[in-house]
A and B are shown apart, each in its own frame.
Chain A
Amino acid sequence: MKDYQGVVMTTPVSLGYQRQSPHGASWFIGMVLRELILRSGVSKTDVEGLAVSSFSLGVDSVVSLTQQFGLSPRWIEQADMGGVSGIVALRRAARAVQAGEAEMIACIGGDGAAHRSFEHTAANFSSWSIDAAFPYGAGGPNAVFSLITARYMEEFGATREDFARICLDQRYNANHYAQALLGHKTLSLDDYLNARPIAGPVHLFDCVMPCAGGEGFLLMTEDRARHLGLPYVQILATDELHNSFSEDPVQQRAGWACYRDALYQRAGLGPEDIDMLQTYDDYPVISMMQIEDLGFCDKGDGARFVQETDMRFDGSGKPANKLPHNTCGGQLSCGQAGSAAGYLGLTEALRQLTHSAQSNQIATARTCLVSGYGMVNYDRGLCSAAAILQEADS
């Protein structure tokens, strides 16, 4: 696979996080676009490409948005793939910039959160979910992930205390990130263990809070970013794989396990060279699976790894091994803004690597691995994606 020479990511934007909102998806996407233009100092006509991800555009699409926003792009893409939408949009857009199809592309994920809209999304997620998953207790994603979590715990001996390590460190990170919806609250091990049960081993603090919000960034040529004076990061390697290991009766791994060696090889790095990890944390067991499949530890060893690793952004935790993880608190503490949640890891990595994060800034971080997971079509998440990003050479 060809490298991403000459293409860079800039201008991370996260905005509008609210538990409920009267605004629709186009408000969040449009506001992110406005912010991207204002912060980068370009004009609307300079945005030659638009990639959009959303669950709640309804009858509209990225095409409708071009007219609503008064854009005339040469290149458009719609990546409605939940937890991988950000990385997939990044991959498509980077190649388009590289091929000269567009010089600057805005990648944006955004979703509203109207009253009872989550219920509607869960009840109508896919035809297989409508016919064969939702009728069984109507638990939505909690039900499916409780089955995956229960099996993982039985097979590998992981405990709720292990999952707590992920949730507690992320909440600490969120306490230092202003936009996190739960960032004003601390979370103790007792709070976590005594939380009300939701589905099997999944309790309240293992679940993300559906919310409204928008996330986005710009992709452009390196020359353009230099010319505009924008801090940027380089894309070392990316990959994606869908419906992998379909013969596994219960999901315990996903695509990362297939392509991680090639991914690291293309980046010229190994897991030990990664300074910071952003996983897709819709449930802590899924973050643990990503840690394993991305080679930070062996399969089934995730519980031990999180017990022995400090995942706080500032390394203030007790364990000696340090790996800052989901440094803005992830969805577990920020809230899950629909498809924007698939961009959260990327925008956070961009902020960290361009040293533009606020009080949750990591002191020294040069490389970041961002991974995505998503789309529970029936009994498991089908999509997996990963990207390795690096601070630009100065």
Chain B
Amino acid sequence: MNLKEKMKRRLKLNRPSLRARARPPKQRTALGQQFTAANLPVSLSMQVCTACEHHQYPPAELCGHCLGDTLRYQEVDTAGQLLSRSELHHSLWEFFKRRIRTKPWPIGSVKLRNGPVVIGHLGEDTLQTGDDVAVFSHSDASQASVLIIVSAGTPIATPEQREHIVAALNLKQPAEKQGGI
């Protein structure tokens, strides 16, 4: 096998679809990584401006309201209202492609009571537009924080309760390749 053929073969075997274990997107910006770190110990932490109390999401360098360099992470209220929901039947990422083979992947967007609009994984299939919901964060199988949307009143106060919901979503386990390479 010459070098060209070898490289071609390596490229072919490097396809995401051939990986034994696929994980959710790990890539985050430096600010996104800070979001993950800030969210490890609590149910939901966000940047809040110490000058104007603006809640900033997605994470940013400066306050989107007063442009101050005054954003600090703090634990925030999880309550919000579901704006829209959808099921993905198609994904660009191998982890979700494998999950979608069994069931479409539900996502939604939420207007949090304290301001920001967030996109998240739907923790319950039955949620409808306009429902009162709670949003919490949890690490996925790539060790990055993602947001999970559940109906208001769902117990999410302890790490064990949140872990249970995320495990049921199959977010903590990599998606295994069936049938070998």
Question: Do A135 and B92 touch across chains, with their CB atoms under 8 A apart?
Answer: no
Q: Is A132 an interface position by the 8 A CB rule?
A: yes
CA distance A143 to B87 in the complex (A): 8
Question: Do A147 and B85 touch across chains, with their CB atoms under 8 A apart?
Answer: yes
Which residues of chain A are within 8 angstroms of B27 by Cβ–Cβ distance? 123-124, 130, 134
CB contact under 8 A between A199 and B87, given known A136-B119, A138-B25, A151-B129:
yes
Binary interface profile of A, 127-161, with partner B (CB < 8 Å = 1, else 0)? 11011111111111011101110110010000000
Question: Do B58 and A131 touch across chains, with their CB atoms under 8 A apart?
Answer: yes
Q: Is B109 an interface position by the 8 A CB rule?
A: yes
Q: Is A379 an interface position by the 8 A CB rule?
A: yes
CA distance A150 to B83 in the complex (A): 10
Question: Do B92 and A119 touch across chains, with their CB atoms under 8 A apart?
Answer: yes
**CB contacts between A and B, total, < 8 Å:** 122
Which residues of chain A are within 8 angstroms of B24 by Cβ–Cβ distance? 135, 138
Question: Do B32 and A199 touch across chains, with their CB atoms under 8 A apart?
Answer: no
CB contact under 8 A between A138 and B119, given known A132-B57, A147-B84, A199-B86:
no
Which residues of chain A are within 8 angstroms of B120 by Cβ–Cβ distance? 136
Q: Of all chain B residues, which has the CB nearest A118?
A: B92
105-122 of chain B: CB within 8 A of chain A: 105, 107-109, 111, 117-121
From A123, A128, A139, give the contact of B88 (CB < 8 A): A139
Q: Of all chain A residues, which has the CB nearest B142?
A: A135
Q: Of all chain B residues, which has the CB nearest A198?
A: B90
Residue with the highest number of chain A CB atoms closer than 10 Å, among B58, B92, B104: B92
Question: Do B121 and A136 touch across chains, with their CB atoms under 8 A apart?
Answer: yes
CB contact under 8 A between A150 and B92, given known A136-B121, A138-B25:
no
CA distance A249 to B28 in the complex (A): 24
CA distance A134 to B118 in the complex (A): 12
40-94 of chain B: CB within 8 A of chain A: 57-59, 83-93
* Distance to closest chain A CB from B146 (angstroms): 5
Residue with the highest number of chain A CB atoms closer than 10 Å, among B32, B88, B121: B88
Which residues of chain B are within 8 angstroms of A118 by Cβ–Cβ distance? 92
CA distance A128 to B35 in the complex (A): 12
Question: Do A200 and B119 touch across chains, with their CB atoms under 8 A apart?
Answer: no
Q: Of all chain B residues, which has the CB nearest A128?
A: B58
Q: Is A122 an interface position by the 8 A CB rule?
A: yes
Q: Is B31 an interface position by the 8 A CB rule?
A: yes
CA distance A139 to B93 in the complex (A): 8
CA distance A143 to B109 in the complex (A): 11
CB contact under 8 A between A123 and B31, given known A199-B86, A379-B109:
no
Q: Is B96 an interface position by the 8 A CB rule?
A: yes
Q: Is B126 an interface position by the 8 A CB rule?
A: no
CA distance A151 to B32 in the complex (A): 28
* Distance to closest chain B CB from A156 (angstroms): 13
Question: Do B107 and A147 touch across chains, with their CB atoms under 8 A apart?
Answer: yes
Question: Do B88 and A250 touch across chains, with their CB atoms under 8 A apart?
Answer: no
Q: Is A196 an interface position by the 8 A CB rule?
A: yes
28 contacts between A and B (CB under 8 A): A118-B92, A119-B92, A130-B28, A131-B28, A131-B35, A131-B58, A131-B59, A132-B57, A132-B58, A133-B119, A135-B140, A135-B144, A136-B120, A137-B107, A138-B24, A139-B92, A142-B90, A143-B88, A147-B107, A147-B119, A150-B84, A150-B129, A151-B83, A151-B84, A200-B85, A249-B111, A250-B83, A250-B117
